[in-house]
Amino acid sequence: MFFIMKQYARQAVSKNVKIINIERPFSNFKFTMEQFGEGFFPVKRIMSEVRVNDGRTMVWEEIDINSAKELAEENDDITTRYGAEVDSMVVRLSFFNAQVESKEKIENLTDSDFIGYAIVKKDTFGGKEKIRIFESLISYKRPNDDYIHGARIHKCRCYGKIYEIKGYIYCQQNNVSNVCAHVALKTVMSRFKDADLSYAEMNEIIGIDHTNRKAGGEDGGGMSIKEMETILEAAGIKTVSADYRYLPNKNRPPFQKYIYASIESGYPAIIVFETSSENGGGGYHAIPVFGHSFNENTWVPSAETSYFRVGKTKYIPSESWVSMYIGHDDNFGSNYSIPRHYLHTRGKSRELSQCKKPRAPVAGRVAHVIATFPKSVKLSPVHAEIIGMNYLFELFNNHPVSNNIWKRRLEIYAKHSLIVIRPFLINKNQYISHLTRLKSWGGDNAFNKLEEYGSVIEKSLPDQYFWMIELSIPELFSANKRKIGEVLLRAEINMSDTMDFKSFSLARLPGYFIGFNKGTGPNNSTFEFIPNELDGHVQLYGCE
């Protein structure tokens, strides 16, 4: 399916422009109450984010509904559903960290002065009134231990000038023509170029016509997980999902494994969890996540290995150091920190063959997760982590230098199940760039003569994406953010039932690059160890 480009509300022309000084003693509470009424919590959250970003000037612009296709589409859908014309007020609020008083001075500002924007839409129709954040993007002023990867640059108009801002778009549902699933998808698709479908386009894909089938409200049916995946795939996005409503605990990996590999690689994910309600019915809510906090002092990795999973694991997944996920909740606002263990999969489980229907909802329990990746990816992050760990141990067993100090150290850590494994999806250019930036512990360039290994790298690496499974130990990983080596796996090849190295591309261990020559006979396959000058540890990907 092919979709034409549309004009976004963030880029629409405006009228009735006002410039407002929001420095102290300006009151955000008074402003939001006077302009939008009480109880409009997402706009209060956004104003707080602006305050944290040292916001000094706000530009208020009214937007004509017909000047932005996505706004006009939404009003048409509401009219179709209720048979009543929609009276809308749309304002775009743009925020700057510089104090200015005139249009001329606004146009002299730069992208570095631009904090972000929020588009507020108020719809009145058939005796109903809906007010919400149609869309916003506020710069995320993060602590040093927060990591957000993959965010794209978006263009927003203020007066006649276009400003650029990087981040993940936040949207709020109207619960009429769109629901929480729609807005979670909007955040995810804002990561992928040319994949940002409007709500009307999403509804067309899955057959919501607002007459025979409705989206939100008391008579709406929402959207299924399968339909969410169908929309993402129509936009050219690969999905890897897991259903936690039926599967017994013993047969399913922790949902955090799907989330972590996705967001760490720079691709957002969606968590669907169970909610409670005053009438006892419960339900589901979808939120997008796109970043995480790293706690170098967490007790969890050591405790899980030593006390709670003895004999059940050979390694520590790097997501054990995650303390918070970073994401949006359309009901409350953008850029929230979500404790890693606050959402859970606890509760009585049954074998799938015994399940006539899903388990009864339990508030806070994860029902589904959807990880996203580029379209060509076939190997899931969970399988890549397992394969990479097995390959790394096999390669160490074949390492030609038995007295290498790091080989001996890793053998000790492996004996105690303390090897750290970190999955990351990258491409050839990213990996080569990574090698050129690496520093030895002494501070020298790790590969002064990278061209000497160019042939083996060029021959071994696929043109498309591959999983880099980084190898470390707890102290190196947490305190120094460094690693000892990595194995690269072809992401476009599915998991094999045997260790046949079909997905193997290249590896690097202390002192060597390692290729794989597959022979014609069952015992003719060999590893090719190419010596290099680096026999110590280097920075993790993204920490160079």
Q: How many whole angstroms separate alpha carbon 105 and alpha carbon 342?
A: 46
Encoding tokens for residue 179?
């629901």
Q: What is the mean pLDDT of residues 151-169?
A: 94
Q: What is the mean pLDDT of residues 329-350?
A: 83
Please tell me the predicted confidence (pLDDT) of residue 215: 93
Query: Is position 196 within any domain?
Result: no
Please tell me the predicted confidence (pLDDT) of residue 170: 97
Query: Is position 452 within any domain?
Result: yes
Please tell me the predicted confidence (pLDDT) of residue 159: 87
Query: Is position 229 within any domain?
Result: no
Query: Is position 56 within any domain?
Result: yes
Q: What is the mean pLDDT of residues 519-531?
A: 64
If DSSP states are collapsed to H, E and C, what string results for 478-530? HHHCEECEEEEEECCCCCCCCCCCCCEEEEEECCEEEEEECCCCCCCCEEEEE
The residue out of 167, 193, 214 marking a domain boundary is: 167
Encoding tokens for residue 505?
């591309």
Q: How many whole angstroms separate alpha carbon 535 and alpha carbon 400?
A: 13
Q: How many whole angstroms separate alpha carbon 390 and alpha carbon 386?
A: 6
Task: Please indicate whether residue 53 or residue 531 has the higher confidence score (pLDDT).
Answer: 53
Beta bridge partners of 170: 136
Give the chain's length.
544
Q: How many whole angstroms separate alpha carbon 430 and alpha carbon 427?
A: 5
Q: What is the mean pLDDT of residues 472-479?
A: 93
End-to-end CA distance of the chain: give it in Å, rounded: 40
Q: How many whole angstroms separate alpha carbon 441 and alpha carbon 432?
A: 20
Give the model confidence (pLDDT) of 481-512 as tens digits: 999 999 999 999 887 766 677 888 999 988 88
The residue out of 109, 136, 167 marking a domain boundary is: 167
The percent of residues above 90 in pLDDT, for the chain, comes to: 54
Q: Are 324 and 335 in contact (CB under 8 A)?
A: no
Angle of CA points 67, 71, 72, to nearest 5°: 75
Query: Is position 364 within any domain?
Result: no
Give the model confidence (pLDDT) of 271-321 as tens digits: 999 887 654 456 889 999 999 998 888 887 777 666 555 445 578 889 989
Beta bridge partners of 348: none
Q: How many whole angstroms separate alpha carbon 90 and alpha carbon 296?
A: 44
DSSP 151: P
| Count of domains forming the chain | 2
Give the model's confidence band at 203: pLDDT under 50 very low, under 70 low, under 90 confident, else very high: very high
The residue out of 146, 167, 188 marking a domain boundary is: 167
Count of CB atoms situated within 10 Å of the CB of 358? 12
Whether omega before 301 lies within 30 degrees of 0, making that bond cis, reads no
Please tell me the predicted confidence (pLDDT) of residue 213: 95
Which H or E run includes 415? Answer: helix 405-415
Query: Is position 213 within any domain?
Result: no
Query: Is position 333 within any domain?
Result: no
Q: How many whole angstroms separate alpha carbon 409 and alpha carbon 413?
A: 6
Q: Are 129 and 122 in contact (CB under 8 A)?
A: yes
Torsion-angle region of 217 (φ positive above 0: left; ψ -120 to 50: alpha; else: beta): left
Q: Is the dihedral angle over the CA atoms 331, 333, 339, 340 positive or is it negative?
A: positive
Can you tell me which residue has the tokens 């790394």?
A: 392
Can you tell me which residue has the tokens 């006649």?
A: 160
Q: What is the mean pLDDT of residues 2-17?
A: 75
Average pLDDT, the chain: 86
Q: How many whole angstroms separate alpha carbon 196 and alpha carbon 265?
A: 20
3-state secondary structure of 419: strand
Encoding tokens for residue 330?
């359309």
Please tell me the predicted confidence (pLDDT) of residue 4: 40
The percent of residues above 70 in pLDDT, for the chain, comes to: 89
Give the model's confidence band at 427: pLDDT under 50 very low, under 70 low, under 90 confident, else very high: very high
Please tell me the predicted confidence (pLDDT) of residue 33: 92
Contacts of 476 (CB under 8 A, 6+ apart): 420, 482, 483, 484, 537
Q: Are 340 and 324 in contact (CB under 8 A)?
A: yes
Q: Are 9 and 134 in contact (CB under 8 A)?
A: yes
Q: How many whole angstroms separate alpha carbon 473 and alpha carbon 485?
A: 11
DSSP 443: S
Amino acid occupying residue 1: M
Q: What is the mean pLDDT of residues 438-445?
A: 86
Please tell me the predicted confidence (pLDDT) of residue 310: 46
Q: Kindly tell me if the per-residue pLDDT of 2 is higher than 90.
A: no
Query: Is position 250 within any domain?
Result: no
Which H or E run includes 317? Answer: strand 315-317
Q: What is the mean pLDDT of residues 412-441?
A: 90
Q: Kindly tell me if the per-residue pLDDT of 353 is higher than 60.
A: no
Cα 448 to the center of its chain, rounded Å? 34
In Å, the largest CA–CA distance within the chain is 80
pTM metric for this prediction:
0.91
Contacts of 306 (CB under 8 A, 6+ apart): none
Q: Are 54 and 9 in contact (CB under 8 A)?
A: no
Quote the domain boundaries for residue 97: 1-167
